[in-house]
Amino acid sequence: MATRHRPPRVFAERVHRLTSLVRAPHGAGRRLVVASRVLAAVAVLAVGVTLTPSAAAAPKHDIGSVRKRVDSLGETVSKVTEQYDQARIALTSAQKKVAALNKRAAKQQAEADRLRRSIAAMAASAYMGGVSDLATLATATTPQDVVDKATSIDQLSDQDRSKIEQYQHAMRQVAAERRSAKAALSQQRQVTSSLKSKKATILKTLAKQKVLLNQLNAAGRNDNQASRADRTPIHLPSASGRAGAAISYARAQLGKPYSWGADGPDSYDCSGLTMASWRQAGVSLPHSSQQQYSSLPHVPRSALQPGDLVFFGSPIHHVGIYVGNNQMIDAPNSGEVVRYDSLNHMGTYAGAGRPG
């Protein structure tokens, strides 16, 4: 039933009337009974005046729902981080392509310049020798003008014509290479812009996650992730060779913080950890969980061996290094640390790959 609000003046009049009974000379017992009734009445009236929806106490944090939101944000961070890793790989590829095209264009330009000088020398020689047609080459003002004038001269030898044709071909090559380099640069700018956008998305998501984690801390219910990281699951099989080297490196990183785009030595994201671990074993992997999965031979879950990489999500956005007994070492997401995790607690299992 809705609470009835009384005007302050009416409230004051009723309190005064009731309290006057306390002062009435009817004996101590009577005063005590009346006083108790007055206090009860005042309490009821006070509730009627002060208890409003805005004044009601805020509900306590629902730790379960906050934890679900944290996990959901962690999933978002993993997905966007995977996109960032792939965009960074694309950016590196674009930069290499531009460098290669510029190098090829410079080589073609040098060849074109050499041929142009040769044709110019031929024109000067013809001018000194009185060959009027060839002498017209000396009046050319641009490389293309040289070619245009030379193509109409009858006195050119086969060797001279060959030089001019080589020059024309070299110039076409330079123009084509420069167009390709320009297109690659445009692509690189788009990739860079995409990186900035993805970075902003990640930072915004991380900020939200930090607020939620602080709420958990305030409620005194946040797990001590660093101590959890040191809990080695029992009955793990031993590993040797390259797999053993990769697992040993991963174990040495336990307790280090997650950081998007990082591959050590102080922090890691998921694919950065697996890349760094297998790098210690002499195996090169891309810094992307999707590309790691694509680059490796796949193995069924029933045939998993320590050192295999296990992948999660659809599309794939998380990876860990399998250590046996249905356990892996991974860098889960922001706010967490490198730790042991069960394969059963990581969401959609996507598959496994075997490096080395």
For the chain, the structural domain boundaries read 8-55, 73-218, 225-353
The answer to whether the bond into 265 is cis (omega within 30° of 0) is: yes
Residue among 258, 252, 237 at smallest CA distance from 307:
237
Residue for token pair 């000088």 = 117
pTM over 0.75: no
Cα–Cα dist 295/309, whole Å: 12
Q: HSE of 355 in the Cβ direction (CA atoms, 13 Å)?
A: 32
Residue for token pair 């296990």 = 310
Write out the CATH class of domain 73-218.
mainly alpha
CA angle 122, 125, 126 (to 5 degrees): 85
228 CB-near residues (< 8 Å, 6+ apart): 339
198 CB-near residues (< 8 Å, 6+ apart): 80, 83, 84, 87
Q: How far is CA 57 from CA 1, 52, 211, 287, 350, in A?
A: 19, 10, 21, 49, 46
Residue among 12, 9, 21 at smallest CA distance from 42:
12
The tokens for 94 are 């674009």
Q: How far apart are the first and last CA of the chain?
A: 72
Digitized pLDDT (tens) for each residue of the chain, 356 residues in all: 444 444 444 444 543 443 444 344 444 444 433 334 433 333 333 333 333 344 344 445 566 777 777 777 778 878 888 888 888 888 888 888 888 888 887 887 787 778 777 777 766 666 665 555 555 555 555 656 655 665 555 555 677 677 777 777 877 887 888 888 888 888 888 887 888 888 788 878 878 877 877 777 776 655 545 445 556 676 889 899 999 999 999 999 999 999 888 999 999 999 999 999 999 999 999 999 999 999 999 999 999 999 999 999 999 999 999 999 999 999 988 778 999 999 998 889 999 999 98
Asked if the domains 73-218 and 225-353 are classified in one and the same CATH topology, the answer is no
Looking at residue 128, its pLDDT comes to: 66
The tokens for 205 are 């998501």
340 bridge partner residues: 329
**SS3 state of residue 69:** helix
Q: Are 338 and 268 in contact (CB under 8 A)?
A: yes
What angle separates helix 8-23 from helix 28-50, to the nearest 10 degrees? 170
Q: Which CATH architecture has domain 225-353?
A: Alpha-Beta Complex (3.90)
Q: Are 289 and 352 in contact (CB under 8 A)?
A: no
The tokens for 239 are 């590993």
